Amino acid sequence: MTIKENFELAKQAYAKWGVDVEEVVEKLKNVPISIHCWQGDDVAGFEVNQNELSGGIDVTGNYPGKATNAEELRSDLEKALSLIPGKHRVNLHAIYAETNGEVVERDQLEPKHFENWVNWAKENGLGLDYNPTLFSHPKADDGLTLSHPNEEIREFWINHCIGSRKIGEYFGRELGTPALTNIWIPDGYKDIPSDRLTPRKRLKESLDKIFAVETDKKYNLDAVESKVFGIGSESYVVGSHEFYLNYAMKNDKLCLLDTGHYHPTETVSNKISSMLLFSEKLALHVSRPVRWDSDHVVILDDELKEIALEIVRNDALNRVIIGLDFFDASINRVAAWTIGTRNMIKALLYAMLVPNEYLKQLQEEGNFTERLALMEEFKTYPFGAIWDYYCEKIGVPVRESWLEEVKAYEQEVLLKR
Ligand code: RNT
Ligand code: ZN
């Protein structure tokens, strides 16, 4: 049976439940995923004076072939993008600036240092997102940045964040799609603090200064990302969930929820509906924590499907900005991007193929037997046939055939580095 024949059969199975598969496929094409550039080089960046990765995050593995400069990283991204259906975005960090061998301090970075990225994004029809980098830097060595007791250090990072928002605005203006500029800081303490309030007060003041500078919302959207703990900040993180949730609500900023940044039995899928009731937009870092915030490659697990279902069934595809955040150096990095991003898209497709309105109705009627029965049955509906058809229609490799391309790229490009 051909992919098309399989698709036709599957289409009938879904049509029985009122799901218009052709419509779903058209809709899915327009959902962008923000692909994080940092999977390609283990969050190293290309600063002239490169610092070791810090901030309580860690990349393990030494798979050969990581990108060592911006051209290599773009080439690797292009390879991955050619294997991923749809039009997407690339998420950059300040450490990916191109300064022509010149040392440029982070608070001095300007749009011109990202010109190559912007030209490349234009050529490839991509949107860009951005992040100031408040780690892997001598001024972050104390584990404190925007909440540091030393005013000079705080000022440095405040200026970096202001400059970053201007770079985000530049991306948005050039590319005709607003950039999400997301602030994540590592600030926290290894051991039990004697004062939780003062650092949070300083973080609040720093953020106020950062956002006092206006950027155009048409081009730049500001987000803040919370965390529960990091390596070396096990006992206390200044920018906790409650901190940023309140800050974002009061100051009209976006909350960014990273799926690895909550207590182990808490799920981001269960937070989305509450967030959507109180803010217009919400941002995600979809990741996969294994026992800790380990940033494993995203797989098509129950939580990923549940996140997708919450976005789709609440009609929030235009309100939830979906970004990825994982970094695995123990496998081929182009494959890591491809696997994780294809899975995110697969999860959205899966969610779009469920008769969500009918299932909602069952719940309203108190018919929990049928709700459970159908939710379980839909798990084995022929969604793979629709996925294969989608890949074929868009012109990316079907099923595992993308792997051959990654293997060839590894031989021809990655292993020669
Ligand atoms: C760290 C945060 C943050 C980083 C990236 C590199 O725990 O998740 O988003 O992973 O900014
Ligand atoms: Zn994150």
Give the residue-averaged pLDDT of 373-392.
98
Separation of 25 CA from ligand 2 center, angstroms?
29
Q: Give yes or no: 295 in active site.
A: yes
* Binding site membership of 225 for ligand 1 (Cβ less than 6 Å): yes
Contacts of residue 98, defined as CB under 8 A and 6 or more positions apart, other chains included, come to 46, 70, 113, 114, 115, 116, 117
Digit-coded pLDDT (tens) for 161-173: 999 999 999 999 9
Q: CB count, 10 Å around CB of 224?
A: 24
Give the residue-averaged pLDDT of 406-411.
98
For residue 351, give the amino acid letter: A
pLDDT at 287: 98
**Helix, strand or coil, per DSSP, at residue 128:** strand
Contacts of residue 88, defined as CB under 8 A and 6 or more positions apart, other chains included, come to 32, 33, 34, 35, 81, 126, 127, 341
pLDDT at 393: 97
Q: What does the alpha-carbon distance between residue 408 and residue 414 come to, in Å, rounded to a whole number?
A: 9
Contact 119, 111 (CB under 8 A): no
Q: Spell out a b/e string for 268-291, using b for 16 or more CB atoms within 10 Å of the CB, else e.
A: bbebbeebbeebebbbbbbbbbee
Separation of 236 CA from ligand 1 center, angstroms?
17
Digit-coded pLDDT (tens) for 254-276: 999 999 999 999 999 999 999 99
Set 11, 36, 137, 227: catalytic member = 227
Ligand 1 binding pocket mutation candidate from 34, 37, 225 (most atoms within 8 A of CB):
225
Cα-Cα-Cα-Cα torsion 36, 42, 48, 54, nearest 10 degrees, comes to 100
pLDDT at 317: 98
Q: What does the alpha-carbon distance between residue 47 and residue 412 come to, in Å, rounded to a whole number?
A: 27
Helices of type H across 279-332: 302-313
Q: Is 359's pLDDT higher than 90?
A: yes
pLDDT at 312: 98
Q: What does the alpha-carbon distance between residue 311 and residue 318 come to, in Å, rounded to a whole number?
A: 9
Give the residue-averaged pLDDT of 87-92.
98
* Binding site membership of 258 for ligand 1 (Cβ less than 6 Å): yes
What percent of the chain lies above the pLDDT cut of 90?
A: 100
Separation of 42 CA from ligand 1 center, angstroms?
12
- Within the chain, all domains assigned CATH 3.20.20.150 are found at 31-352
Contacts of residue 188, defined as CB under 8 A and 6 or more positions apart, other chains included, come to 56, 143, 227, 229, 230, 232, 233, 235, 236, 237, 238
Burial class for 344, CB neighbours closer than 10 Å (0-12, 13-18, 19+): buried
CATH superfamily of 31-352: Divalent-metal-dependent TIM barrel enzymes (3.20.20.150)
Q: What is the mean pLDDT of the chain?
A: 98
For residue 291, give the amino acid letter: R
Burial class for 304, CB neighbours closer than 10 Å (0-12, 13-18, 19+): buried
Q: What is the CA radius of gyration of the chain?
A: 22
Q: Spell out a b/e string for 178-211, using b for 16 or more CB atoms within 10 Å of the CB, else e.
A: bbbbbbbbbbbbeeeeeeeeebbebbbebbeebb
Q: Is 32's pLDDT higher than 90?
A: yes
pLDDT at 1: 87
Which among 126, 28, 111 has a CA at the least distance from the CA of 77?
126
Tokens at 214, concatenated: 């206006």
* Binding site membership of 36 for ligand 1 (Cβ less than 6 Å): no
* Binding site membership of 288 for ligand 1 (Cβ less than 6 Å): no
Q: What does the alpha-carbon distance between residue 1 and residue 7 come to, in Å, rounded to a whole number?
A: 10
Separation of 40 CA from ligand 1 center, angstroms?
14
Digit-coded pLDDT (tens) for 131-184: 999 999 999 999 999 999 999 999 999 999 999 999 999 999 999 999 999 999
Digit-coded pLDDT (tens) for 211-224: 999 999 999 999 99
Give the residue-averaged pLDDT of 188-199.
98
Taking the CA of residue 38 as reference, the ligand 1 atom at the shortest distance is 6
**Helix, strand or coil, per DSSP, at residue 246:** helix
Digit-coded pLDDT (tens) for 71-86: 999 999 999 999 999 9
Q: What does the alpha-carbon distance between residue 18 and residue 362 come to, in Å, rounded to a whole number?
A: 15
User: The pTM is what?
Assistant: 0.98
Give the residue-averaged pLDDT of 231-239.
98
pLDDT at 406: 98
